[in-house]
């Protein structure tokens, strides 16, 4: 099963992104396909925060636009939204240690740990920081 990182979701939503066309195509194929795919809950939260932030986008997406986008993804029958499970601390601790993580990369370690807890082996992203976590294979959006 594939998981989708925040940056891919943002690019798919924001038509002003230089990566919009490719990201929208990838997310649309996943949402319309029969294969199960995943979005980690932290990526949903971060998507909303980024797309509605006036210092990141001028103009930002309105709260209603961001919520409508999330609702559209959640309507995909093949989507599974994943979050922390029973082994979260064990997985996160391992990601923090093996990835030598500190500071803002802790968020990425959290996403990687959630994916590992749910048996997800591959994440679609443009974020190079995920290469720190060998349990999770990275599929670059623009590979």
Q: Dihedral sign for Cα 24, 37, 110, 43, please.
A: positive
Task: Give the pLDDT score at 15.
Answer: 97
Distances 9 to 26, 64, 102, 125 between C-alpha atoms, Å: 10, 16, 24, 9
Fold for the domain defined by 2-140 = Rossmann fold (3.40.50)
Average pLDDT, consecutive stretches of 10 residues, N- to C-terminus, the chain (143 residues): 97 96 97 97 98 97 98 97 96 94 94 96 93 91 77
Global pTM exceeds 0.85: yes
Task: Give the pLDDT score at 119.
Answer: 95
Whether residue 119 contacts residue 107, with contact meaning beta carbons closer than 8 Å, is answered with no
Task: Give the pLDDT score at 142.
Answer: 82
Closest CA to 141 of 40, 25, 42, 16: 25
Task: Give the pLDDT score at 108.
Answer: 96
Give the C-alpha separation, 127 to 79, whole Å.
22
- Bridge partners (DSSP) of residue 40 are 82
What residue segments make up the domains of the chain, in order of their start?
2-140
């Amino acid at each position: 099963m594939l998981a989708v990182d925040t940056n891919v979701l943002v690019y798919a939503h924001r038509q002003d992104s230089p990566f919009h066309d490719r990201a929208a195509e990838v997310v649309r194929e996943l949402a319309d396909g029969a294969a199960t795919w995943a979005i980690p809950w932290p990526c949903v939260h971060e998507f909303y925060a980024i797309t509605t932030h006036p210092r990141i986008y001028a103009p930002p997406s309105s709260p209603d636009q961001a919520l409508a986008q999330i609702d559209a993804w959640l309507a995909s029958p093949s989507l599974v939204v994943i979050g922390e499970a029973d082994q979260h601390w064990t997985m996160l601790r391992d990601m923090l240690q093996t990835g030598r993580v500190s500071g803002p990369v802790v968020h990425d370690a959290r996403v990687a740990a959630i994916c590992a807890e749910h048996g997800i082996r591959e994440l679609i992203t443009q974020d190079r920081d995920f290469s720190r976590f060998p349990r999770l294979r990275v599929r670059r959006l623009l590979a």
